[in-house]
Structure 1
Amino acid sequence: MRILIADDDCTSRAVLAAVLQKNGFEVLQTTNGAEAWQLLQQPQAPALAILDWVMPELDGLELVRRVRALATDRPPYLIMLTSRCAKVDVIAGLDAGANDYLTKPFDSGELRARVAVGRRMIELQEALVRSKELLAHQATHDALTGLYNRRAILARLQDEMARAQRGAALAIGSCDIDHFKRINDSYGHQTGDEVLCGLARLLTEQLRPFDSLGRFGGEEFLIVAPIKNGTCHVALFDRLCRQVANTPIVTRNGPLALTLSIGVACYRPTDDLDQLLARADAALYRAKEQGRNRVIYAACGEMDEATLIKS
């Protein structure tokens, strides 16, 4: 763990650093509050800071207030260091946002004990943040494939539709594995799950960094593809369909060939979410009716019907 010492007293700073380094901590040192403020704003800021109350440029009390005003999930643990020991001063430091208080001259044993308390609090805080991040991930991602779940991919679609209303172009692809029920019936649901996971990886590898992919339900996936200048969404969906047809998915029952039907719709200013999805679904149904393993495009501007991907 890294610890920041901000103290303009050379002797005090050296003693603090020696005790902390002896106990295995990485120590950063500054001689004024302004330097400490710069360090504590960095993305990889020290998790714990020992701040002298009286420092040049920016005193410890104001520094604590500024740090506590930062928006972060991982606020540093702050220990105020000062020769002031009156109760009113202790209260002022704690009210400003300090976690603990250490008076000069300090005892090395007390310093170790207070830092140990800080370390435990930081570890608990980190565990809480990780739990929060895990819950957030579980709320937005499909447990089997790791892709966005239905709610999350629809949220991404709504965000892109909002951008499209300001002039950006957008296409979506409703994708369905052809004859997926046969895979489950012939090889079992565990193999079916492996097919879903393998397809999710394959599609993810083929998509562009700014595209989004989600499991929409069962064996159906939704691709949200912003149309950037100089890019072609037709080429994107055609390539995906060909790649799936040419890449067997490795399963416990050996490599399994599969194909994908895709219905594509471009966003129109008059579309709401349901209308855009309905046009993509209608194109998907036509792809199924026309023999599967193909991309069908809903009418969109000058482009009318379809592209065929032959098996």
Structure 2
Amino acid sequence: MHIMIVDSSRVVLKIITALLEPRGHAVNAFTDSEEALAFLNNTPSVRVLITSLEVRPISGLELCWSARLLAEARRPLYVITMSSARNARNLAEALDSGADDFIEKPPGAEELHARLRAAERLTTMQEELIRLAETDPLTGLLNRRAFFGRARDAADRTGNHGQMTAILADIDHFKRINDEHGHDVGDAAIQAVAKLFGAEGIVGRLGGEEFAIVLPGRSLEEGEAFAGRLRLLVRDLRVRGARGPVRLACSFGVSAWSESETVEGLLKRADIALYEAKTTGRDRVVSAATDLILARTA
């Protein structure tokens, strides 16, 4: 596991690191709790935080609370606090601040490894629950709620002046595929398209045969080119049907991030462009433009 240790004493850090690294754990140690929190924010691979209550400039209890907020934001994390003064008040404050466990400082090897085995069991379970809560069961892509959450996170990082592109895609004549070949073939078509779409960016299945892709750092032109490549790849797909191979095609709507944008607005404009692609012949890429938006929203 990837483990972080925070303590004001370099001696304590060396003792605990020496207990962990021979067991194959990746360890990062910090004397500065503010630096530790920044590292934790930027390193989702960390599964266990071991922190002393006596750290600065952020107190151990504050660090526990901040770590717990991170853990609630779709990542597994187990928090162990430690103190040289074990008492009921310290234990209660630590648990109330979001800690999962409490250990005396410095910890003994046998007790520490036992608590880490418990941490591994719990974080593995958390990871699976997060996966189930965020994943579309048919395709393995993000479900609608998880997709919007990830897209909003990307929008926050993009800010007003960054670049980001959204693509909405819809399998053409999908109802006909279901009616003529059966729902099993329809499901296979959705899975085949999802496999193509899931290689890059933030990708979700919004429902039925509709997919969404957000590409942080990409311009409208780059988004158009990406959608164009996907369109050609979909045309090459063949899904096995009872009466022979079933050909597929997709329509795409593309929009680009603008100042004071919202994710909902970005996707709405991509949806309008997708509608235009569907009503003007299908199997094409249409980008959201000002005149198109005004025409469809009037």
TM-score range, shorter chain: 0.5 to 0.7
SS at match of 1:168: coil
Shifted more, 125-134 versus 276-285: the winner is 125-134
Q: CA deviation at 1:220?
A: 0.2
Aligned sequence identity (%): 32
Give the gaps of 5 or more residues in structure 2. 2-10, 28-49, 68-75, 92-101, 292-298
Matched, 1:197 2:187: no
Select 1:259's aligned residue among 249, 257, 264.
249
Partner AA of 1:35 in structure 2:
K
Partner AA of 1:45 in structure 2:
H
Q: CA deviation at 1:66?
A: 7.4
Give the Cα separation in 1 of the matches to 2:16 and 2:114.
24
Give the Cα separation in 1 of the matches to 2:260 and 2:228.
26
Shifted more, 158-167 versus 288-297: the winner is 158-167
Which residue is equivalent to 1:9?
none
Select 2:230's aligned residue among 226, 240, 252.
240
Partner AA of 2:272 in structure 1:
A
Give the Cα separation in 2 of the matches to 1:125 and 1:283.
48
CA separation of 1:253/1:213 partners in 2, compared to 1, >3 Å: closer, same or farther? farther
Which residue is equivalent to 2:177?
183
Q: CA deviation at 1:100?
A: 11
Matched, 1:73 2:80: no
Which residue is equivalent to 2:203?
213
Tell me if the contact between 2:165 and 2:218 (Cα under 8 Å) persists in the aligned partners.
no
Partner AA of 1:279 in structure 2:
R
Q: CA deviation at 1:119?
A: 6.8
CA separation of 1:34/1:288 partners in 2, compared to 1, >3 Å: closer, same or farther? closer
CA separation of 1:225/1:120 partners in 2, compared to 1, >3 Å: closer, same or farther? same
Partner AA of 1:37 in structure 2:
I
Which residue is equivalent to 2:279?
289
CA separation of 1:187/1:286 partners in 2, compared to 1, >3 Å: closer, same or farther? same
Q: Which has the larger radius of gyration?
A: 1
Matched, 1:144 2:134: no
> Mapping of 1:29-48 within 5 angstroms?
33=12, 35-39=14-18, 44-45=24-25
Give the Cα separation in 1 of the matches to 2:242 and 2:106.
57
> Mapping of 1:116-195 within 5 angstroms?
122-195=116-189
CA separation of 1:228/1:280 partners in 2, compared to 1, >3 Å: closer, same or farther? closer
Give the Cα separation in 2 of the matches to 1:278 and 1:252.
37
> Mapping of 1:266-305 within 5 angstroms?
266-299=256-289
Q: CA deviation at 1:76?
A: 8.1
Higher share of residues assigned helix: 2
SS at match of 1:292: coil
CA separation of 1:33/1:197 partners in 2, compared to 1, >3 Å: closer, same or farther? same
Give me the TM-score of the superposition, normalised by structure 2. Answer: 0.62
SS at match of 1:37: helix
Give the gaps of 5 or more residues in structure 1. 2-31, 48-62, 79-88, 103-113, 302-311
> Mapping of 1:57-136 within 5 angstroms?
65=52, 73-74=77-78, 97-98=103-104, 115=110, 122-136=116-130
Give the Cα separation in 1 of the matches to 2:79 and 2:26.
10
Task: Supply the RMSD in Å over aligned alpha carbons.
Answer: 4.2
Aligned length: 231
Give the Cα separation in 1 of the matches to 2:107 and 2:154.
50
Give the Cα separation in 1 of the matches to 2:86 and 2:155.
54
